Amino acid sequence: MSVPPHIEVSGLAVGYGDYVVQRDLDFTVNQGDIFVVMGGNGCGKTTLMRALVGLQAPLAGTVRYGGEDFWNAPEERRQRLQRRLGILFQGGALWSSLTLAENVALPLSEYTALTQAQIDEVVAFKLALVGLAGFGDFHPSELSGGMKKRAGLARAMALDPDILVIDEPSSGLDPLTARRLDELIVELRDSLGTTVVVVTHDLASILAIGDNSVYLDADTHTMIATGHPRDALQNGNAKVRHFLTRGNPT
């Protein structure tokens, strides 16, 4: 018996009211993929992400997780499916009034029956996993941009999600810090077997970590399937190659 894709998107349209941002989206994300959703500013990457994680209902089509229709599932089941997802928002979305340890502990307190001692142990492990051991008592305002991203990643992984969805991981980071974050994402995928969906327009990240991808075209309001970004760079659709080289010849 074949294993269904971790994520299967079919005939998806996303937008606002009568305005369709993207339509006819069809792609699958298999277990262990680092799947990149790429495209220029304003093409609908974040709108698609919101439909994938349950923050905005699509205008049409389906999103399936492990074969289950997410948006047509009963509310209780949809919430259970959402807890299989870890989400790292573009700005980290940490609670500024809470310490890092408290931020990471929040979903554990909300959704598990762990004791406080067990929660503290998990929090320490997750912070160590992203290179922030010893920073649990720090507040977000005391951290660099890269450390905030890693703290957000620790919180996104608090409930051991099957799937990690990351919105613009390199946004606001210097190239070296962005590269280290990319390396951490790959390391987490390799060590934990987590499937990762990365929404980004950053070329270095796309080519460094992606092993499958789609390009969202702002002109036609639909996707161009691209496969492995490095293959697309050499032999893909002309518009995708233009994007991946910013117009420079390959």
Which residues fall within 8 angstroms of residue 18, CB to CB, at 6 or more apart?
Answer: none
pLDDT tens across the length of the chain (250 residues): 455 678 999 999 999 999 999 999 999 999 999 999 999 888 999 999 999 999 999 999 999 999 999 999 999 999 988 888 999 887 667 898 999 999 999 999 988 999 999 999 999 999 998 889 999 999 999 988 888 988 999 999 998 899 999 998 887 788 888 888 899 899 889 988 899 999 998 898 999 999 999 999 999 999 998 999 999 999 889 999 999 987 444 4
Helix axes 100-111, 116-129, angle to 10 degrees: 130
151 CA to centre of own chain: 15
Report the amino acid identity of residue 151.
A
**Predicted pLDDT of residue 174:** 85
pLDDT of residue 3: 59
All structural domains of the chain, each given as residue ranges with its CATH number in brackets, are: 31-46+85-245 (3.40.50.300)
Q: Which two tokens stand for residue 133?
A: 């051991």
What pLDDT score does 2 carry? Answer: 52
The pLDDT value given to residue 250: 40
Q: What is the pLDDT of residue 92?
A: 65
Hey, how many other C-beta atoms are within 10 angstroms of the C-beta on 85?
Answer: 21
C-alpha span between 39 and 213 (Å, rounded):
10
Q: Name the nearest CA neighbour of 213 among 194, 232, 195, 189.
A: 232
Q: Which residue has the tokens 């700005």?
A: 91
* Host H or E run for residue 20: strand 19-29
Q: What is the pLDDT of residue 188?
A: 87
